[in-house]
Amino acid sequence: MKKLIIGCFLFLFCSVSNAQVYQSGPIKVQSLRVTNNVTYVRFSPALNACEGGYHYRMHAKVNNDNTALISSLLTAYTAQKTLGYVFVSGEGKACSPSHILTLDMIEFSQQ
């Protein structure tokens, strides 16, 4: 029983965190790639959490069920508005063909 409790304790405190990180702007939505399930976003400048990498030219993804965020990204892209903050999860590993950040939230900045 003692080993089980210690094992659970270590698992809880040694697992990789998926907490949100943010980057302040100004950040522009440089391009969008829309698929049937996910929208991919390329930012300018690239997000620091990508650690210099990218996922087929993209930096983050958002599920297409998140219509408010998709609509906001389209607005920022078409109106060339800058974002004040971008919040992502999935950091701790460079963006690559096998890894991409998840976009959780954006904040528009005053123009």
Picking from 54, 44, 49, the residue whose alpha carbon sits closest to that of residue 87 is 49
pTM, rounded to two decimals: 0.78
Domain 17-108: assigned CATH number: 2.40.50.110
Please tell me what DSSP assigns to residue 47: P
Taking residue 70's Cβ as centre, other Cβ atoms within 10 Å add up to 18
pLDDT at 27 (0 to 100): 95
Phi-psi region of 25 (alpha: psi -120 to 50; beta: other; left: phi over 0): beta
Domain boundaries, the chain: 17-108
Contact indicator for 99, 90 with CB cutoff of 8 Å = yes
Which tens digit of pLDDT belongs to each residue from 26-67?
999 999 999 999 999 999 999 999 998 989 899 999 999 999
What percent of the chain has a predicted confidence (pLDDT) above 70? 82
